[in-house]
Structure 1
Amino acid sequence: MGAGIAHAFLLAGCDVTVVERDSPRADAAAERIRDALTRSAARGQLAPGPAEFRTSSDVGDFADRELVIEAVPEDRELKADALTRVEAVVSDAALLASNTSSISIDALAVGLRRSERFLGLHFFNPVPSSALVEIVTGAATAAIDVERARAYVDAIGKTPIVVRDSPGFASSRLGVLLGLEAIRMLEEGVADAGDIDRAMELGYRHPMGPLRTTDLVGLDVRLGIAEELHAAFGERFAPPTLLRRMVAEGRLGRKSGEGFYRWDAS
Structure 2
Amino acid sequence: TTALTLDAVDLQWAIILRIFMLIWYSPVEHVTVRNLTFRGPLDELTEYAFLPLLSSVEQLISLESSMKALTLEHVRNKVYYFNQEILYRQFSEMNIANLTINDAYMPHMLCPNRTSSFQYLNFSHNALTDELFQNCGTLMDLKLLILQKNKFESLRKVSVMTSRMKSLKYLDMSNNLLRHDGADVKCQWAESLTELDLSSNQLADAVFECLPVNIKKLSLQNNQISNIPRGMAELESLEELNLASNRLADLPGCSGFTSLQFLNI
- Per the TM superposition, whether the score is higher than 0.5 is no
Q: Which range, TM-score by smaller chain?
A: under 0.3
Higher relative contact order (CA 8 A, sep 6+): 1
Q: Which structure has more helix as a fraction of its residues? A: 1
Q: Give the TM-score taking structure 1 as reference length.
A: 0.26
Q: Give the TM-score taking structure 2 as reference length.
A: 0.27
Which has the larger Rg?
2
Q: Which structure has more strand as a fraction of its residues? A: 2
